Amino acid sequence: MDGYLAHAVRSHWSIENTCHWSLDITYREDESRIREAKLRENFAWLNRFSLSLLKQHSEGKSLAMQRRRCGWNFDTLLNVLYAQRT
């Protein structure tokens, strides 16, 4: 029973750490200076939402680079928003 519980806890933290790592690398969340609770919550939601869109569209490319390409090229942004693959 202890082995099962330990495995479940490690699995949970593995998923949590992977998600946090992706958000930190892609959006530099750890460096955020937003202090107001509601703004922090809203930005966290937007970051998770846009990260999921990028993951669906990234095709193996770096998520941070894909995010930058969306800022550089309006067509790329629209492709990600409309979930169209290029």
Q: Which amino acid does the sequence have at 48? A: R
Neighbouring residues of 24: CB distance < 8 A, sequence distance ≥ 6: 30
pLDDT in tens, 4-26: 777 777 776 676 667 777 787 77
| Domain residue limits, the chain | 2-81
pLDDT digits 0-9 by tens, 39-59: 988 988 888 898 888 888 877
Nearest CA-CA partner of 60 in 40, 23, 86, 82: 86
Q: Which among 25, 29, 32, 31 has a CA at the least distance from the CA of 64?
A: 25
CB atoms within 10 A of CB 56: 11
**32: Cβ contacts below 8 Å, ≥ 6 apart:** 40, 43
